[in-house]
């Protein structure tokens, strides 16, 4: 994965006239949470199993589990029992005490709850997975069609969006609190590069009066000035563009065991695409979109003009 200097060059290029091909992420993320540790450990266990010539069926029998359970473990989709990890290490020929302890320590870290655990009653499992990945990403690129991206929403805007689907005041405030907590990664040391294209329609949609949107636009101007944040606006005058199919996010990680992935959120679920062909397709679409719309260094003037019309 790319180091921080490569990430800075990516962002510098983003502020020019066109998006770079295959832009790579910068820093190592604000922190390595349990989601990433699960995926990393699962990938290492899969590598050990394949190196030892052990099938998933045999591995499942060793820990009294199904083949499907082994597959979920290797994908990082479930938590780990230390006893199961110890049995698998024995099966795969890992007998050195120090090496075994490293794996077991990783398993303990992977089982620790993330900071968002206190909101678990509000979150479906598929979105908890995304939160863990978002917290560990080194680069987040996204296209948003209907709303301002969650990572750069003001509390008032987030509250207005949340009220579209929820009515209980206490639940609304907790959801807004969760969204604000997510945003810490953009200003934390070692936080990710965030590069978003926002459709102009989202900026003109009045959720709760013009003053709310003026404040939101002011916030976007301030965020776009951060060295690790780059915002571009897809103008209504631009007509069609490669991302017309809908919003998506591409996440890149510093951890070598984690592949890039595409996140597609739906009303009641989400898709996580990590096949190279899928990710490359979305990356090309994002590069073409970024090249077609106004560059980040024009964003402030675009936002200021929209603000004046509200």
CATH number of domain containing 276: 3.30.870
Residue 298, class by beta-carbon neighbours within 10 Å (0-12 exposed, 13-18 middle, 19+ buried)? Answer: middle
Compute the average pLDDT of residues 105-114: 85
pLDDT digits (tens, 9 = 90+) for 9-20: 334 444 443 333
Query: Using one digit for the tens of pLDDT, what is the confidence trace for 138-168?
Result: 999 999 999 999 999 999 999 999 999 999 9
**Do 279 and 176 belong to one domain?**
yes
**Domain containing 171: what range?**
4-33+116-309
Q: Are residues 94 and 136 in the same domain?
A: no
Token pair of 61 as six digits: 């029998």
End-to-end CA distance of the chain: 43
Q: For the whole model, what pTM was predicted?
A: 0.77
Task: Please give the radius of gyration of the chain, using alpha carbons only, rounded to the nearest integer.
Answer: 21
Query: Model confidence over 230-280: pLDDT tens digits?
Result: 999 999 887 667 777 789 999 998 877 678 999 999 888 899 998 899 999
Instruction: State the helix-helix crossing angle for 155-162 and 210-224, rounded to 10 degrees.
Output: 130
Same domain, yes or no, for 303 and 259?
Answer: yes
Domain termination site, one of 72, 96, 113: 113
Same domain, 15 and 91: no
CATH number for 77: 1.10.260.40
Per-residue pLDDT, 38: 85
Number of domains in the chain: 2
- Summarize pLDDT for 224-243 with one digit per residue, the tens: 999 999 999 999 887 667 77
Residue 25 predicted with pLDDT over 60: no
CA–CA gap between residue 16 and residue 263 (Å, rounded) = 26
> Is residue 305 located within the same domain as residue 158?
yes
Asked if 59 and 129 sit in the same domain, the reply is no
Residues 143 and 238 in one domain: yes
Res 10: pLDDT: 39
- Distance in angstroms (rounded) separating the CA atoms of residues 218 and 303: 8
The residue out of 62, 82, 113 marking a domain boundary is 113
């Amino acid at each position: 994965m790319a180091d921080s200097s490569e990430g800075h060059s990516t962002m510098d290029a983003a502020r020019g006239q066109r998006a770079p091909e295959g832009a790579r992420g910068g820093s190592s993320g604000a922190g390595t949470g349990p989601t990433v540790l699960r995926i990393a450990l699962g990938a290492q266990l899969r590598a050990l199993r394949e190196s030892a010539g052990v099938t998933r069926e045999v591995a499942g029998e060793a820990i009294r589990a199904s083949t499907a359970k082994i597959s979920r473990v290797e994908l990082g989709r479930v938590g780990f029992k230390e006893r199961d990890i110890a049995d698998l290490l024995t099966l795969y020929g890992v007998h050195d005490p120090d090496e075994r302890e490293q794996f077991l320590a990783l398993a303990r870290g992977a089982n620790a709850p993330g900071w968002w655990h206190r909101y678990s009653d509000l979150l479906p499992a598929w979105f908890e997975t995304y939160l863990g990945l978002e917290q560990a990403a080194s680069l987040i690129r996204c296209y948003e069609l209907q709303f301002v991206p969650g990572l750069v929403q003001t509390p008032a805007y987030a509250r207005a969006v949340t009220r579209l689907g929820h009515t209980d005041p206490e639940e609304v405030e907790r959801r807004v609190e969760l969204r604000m907590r997510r945003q810490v990664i953009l200003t934390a040391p070692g936080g990710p590069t965030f590069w978003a294209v926002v459709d102009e329609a989202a900026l003109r949609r009045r959720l709760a009066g013009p003053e709310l949107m003026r404040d939101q636009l002011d916030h976007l101007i301030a965020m776009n000035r951060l060295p690790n944040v780059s915002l571009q606006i897809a103008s209504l005058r631009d007509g069609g563009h490669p991302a017309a199919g809908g919003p998506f996010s591409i996440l890149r990680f510093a951890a070598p065991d984690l592949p890039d992935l595409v996140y597609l959120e739906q009303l009641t679920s989400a898709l996580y695409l990590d096949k190279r062909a899928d990710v490359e397709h979305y990356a090309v679409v994002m590069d073409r979109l970024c090249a077609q719309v106004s560059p980040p260094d024009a964003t402030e003037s675009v936002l200021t003009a929209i603000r004046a019309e509200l």
